[in-house]
Structure 1
Amino acid sequence: MSGTAHEVQYVTLHGHRRAYVKAGQGPVVLLLHGLGCDHTTWAPVIDSLAKRYTVIAPDMLGHGLSDKPRADYSVGGYANGMRDLLTVLGIDRATVIGHSFGGGVAMQFAYQFPERTERLMLVASGGLGPEVSPAIRAITTPGFHQVMGVLTLPGVRHVGKAGMRALAGAPCKHTRDLDEVAEIFDSFKDPHARHAIRHVVRAVVDWHGQIVTMADRAYLTEEMPMAVVWGRDDKVIPVRHASNAAALAPYARVEVIPNAGHFPHKDHPHRFAKIVHEFIRSTQPARYSRARFRNLLKNGRAGVGPTATVTALPSA
């Protein structure tokens, strides 16, 4: 399901042009896309969310319509970029929602800037366990740039995209995400995009899997409302990582959506928007206390809170 097209705006930060979409009015929701995607991954839910919230959906540096320079593509660097974007837009605080790699950026943003984070929602997020699709691990291997350069030559690329889109329409849960993969594959025709994505992946993944993890800092979420949403049929990052989140952050609410893959916000956009609204409606924004944060850092995890509820939503 696709949403309506949204006007793309631009701002230049540190000499690099950043693209973003802004829609709606009300409390701010910052939507962070995954690896190789852009703001359009959120198109099916932007309009629904914009009925109640100010939605900011950027193309992160190296993605979409944003510049793709030689730059800092670390998770921390992306978190800094999101802080600077919000600052330029005159936004002090936001509920931050991150999908896949964007979930890792969302976690880092909440860690670096707790005073600017009202809530945290992770959608099929990285950073909750080592396992990840072999296709993502392959990006770190020597020769990826050259091989992908051949595979994205015009004739080959068109055949590859058509094949993936045809398989995505098949009644098979293993191929449901291939329409989104086709768009990521198409973006690799730009050598600057390939370089950027390779730098991003090398910062968070090696051949053994994910390197970056929230495990050592999950106790900090005791001070912040947190939700985790996953598709039961995710073939990119295993759905069992949702249970990892429940163990690492016992105060988090965790919801697993049946008949959904790695992009649950696209598979079930109305349901996803309802989950977001219920999360925001039923929680108070985090109130940052420097003293409390200092004590948490000094003492580490002092105890275990109530066990998170892992909810499997009924199929549509």
Structure 2
Amino acid sequence: MARILPFQSRLLPTDDEGGGTLRFRTVHGYRRAYRIAGEGPAILLIHGIGASSATWAPLIAPLARTHTVIAPDLLGHGASEKPRADYSVAAYANGIRDLLGVLGIERVTLVGHSFGGGVTMQFAYQFPERVDRLVLVSTGGVGPQVSPVLRGVSLPGAALLLSLLELPGADLPVRAVVGLLRLLDTGLGQDAPELMGLVEALPDVWARTAFIRTLRSVVDWRGQVVTMLDRCYLAEGMPTMLVWGDRDSVLPVDHAFTAHQAMPGSRLEIFGGAGHFPFHSDPARFVGLVEEFVRETAPADWSAERWRQLLRAGRPGEEAFVGELERRYREASERSAT
């Protein structure tokens, strides 16, 4: 059984904290875990790498007062099965679509955190007719920059390192460093306890393998390798809100402004003093923002003809944009190499 550290309590709440009981459905032969509560228009909460639906548990009951809230454990995470499988962003988007199909839910407002934000954008790209709105929280896929910790975990030998952390006392030096970073009030110190909680909650070799395969699908030693910026213009007309902590040490807050600029009409909310998990830092504010956003925006009105027009027109100033994007990724790679 995985060890539960004191700072994991926010990530792994009990059912009576409002997170609801896990339910299970089999899709394509694999058991999928999910939480569901409430009635009304559907809100789907997608967690990040190494997390599970439990990370959303304190938010589910408040949101379920007026909505049907679904929070799955992505394949390879939480209580869902962890097969040797495809853990790419596109595969996760397909899995979300199929789970919604099993549950009989046609359209959703998507709320995605970190890697889950990338899955959210991929879902909107692949299945725009099923999306009402987007809420992207500290989302991946905006730029190459990402925490050196995650770049390191993408390297060969990471599985062995993670398994060594399970040995008695092996995590003491890591905890000491985390404590020092927190004492110094650094951004990494703010996020490190939650990140360590995610890693140390991996219960077995199958969970660790799925974690690493998922991470390597989007990150290598130089940084993020997947971008949403080249296609996010297709979200035109789809209500979008970006939420970020201004002390995010995993995905820098600069990415929030880049994404906001790349998605005209989007709404940007910055949580002052928050790190990579702004919905943990101030859950009441986060719930209020989501409720307000849903209440004040009409669901996206997607049409195949409009989609074709956007594709044919491309992004305004596309050549200059793509050139700038390539330059940023190249410079980031060069900085990482030195």
With normalisation by structure 2, the TM-score equals: 0.85
Q: 1:188 aligns with which of 202, 213, 222?
A: 202
> Could you list the runs of 5+ residues in structure 1 that have no partner in the other structure?
305-316
Separation of aligned partners in 2, 1:220 and 1:228 = 16
- The residue matched to 1:215 in structure 2 has which SS? coil
| 2:260 partner letter | A
RMSD: 2.0
Match of residue 278 from structure 2: 264
Separation of aligned partners in 2, 1:221 and 1:276 = 18
Match of residue 249 from structure 2: 235
> Could you list the runs of 5+ residues in structure 2 that have no partner in the other structure?
1-9, 319-338
| 1:16 partner letter | Y
| 2:185 partner letter | C
Shift in Å, 1:153: 2.1
- The residue matched to 2:36 in structure 1 has which SS? strand
Indicate yes or no: 2:42 matched with 1:33.
Answer: no
Shift in Å, 1:177: 2.5
Q: 2:226 aligns with which of 202, 205, 212?
A: 212
Match of residue 127 from structure 1: 141
Alpha carbons of 1:258 and 1:98: their partners in 2 closer, same or farther (altered >3 Å)? same
Match of residue 77 from structure 2: 63
Separation of aligned partners in 2, 1:237 and 1:35 = 13
Equivalence map 1:101-116=2 (5 Å)? 101-116=115-130
Shift in Å, 1:163: 5.3
Q: 1:143 aligns with which of 148, 157, 180?
A: 157
Contact 2:19–2:61 under 8 Å retained in 1 = no
Contact 1:39–1:59 under 8 Å retained in 2 = yes
Q: Deviations 1:31-75 (Å, cap 9, x if unpaired)?
A: 000010001111221111111111100000011111010011000
Equivalence map 1:1-316=2 (5 Å)? 3-157=17-171, 159=172, 172=185, 174=187, 175-302=189-316
Contact 1:18–1:58 under 8 Å retained in 2 = yes
Q: Which shows bigger deviation, 110-119 or 37-46?
A: 37-46
Contact 1:131–1:237 under 8 Å retained in 2 = yes
Shift in Å, 1:250: 1.6
Shift in Å, 1:209: 0.7
Separation of aligned partners in 2, 1:160 and 1:20 = 35
Alpha carbons of 1:51 and 1:168: their partners in 2 closer, same or farther (altered >3 Å)? farther
Contact 2:19–2:56 under 8 Å retained in 1 = no
Shift in Å, 1:5: 4.1
Q: Which shows bigger deviation, 72-81 or 248-257?
A: 248-257
Contact 1:164–1:179 under 8 Å retained in 2 = no
Identity %: 50
Separation of aligned partners in 2, 1:75 and 1:185 = 20
Alpha carbons of 1:53 and 1:161: their partners in 2 closer, same or farther (altered >3 Å)? farther
Contact 1:94–1:116 under 8 Å retained in 2 = yes
Separation of aligned partners in 1, 2:25 and 2:213 = 23
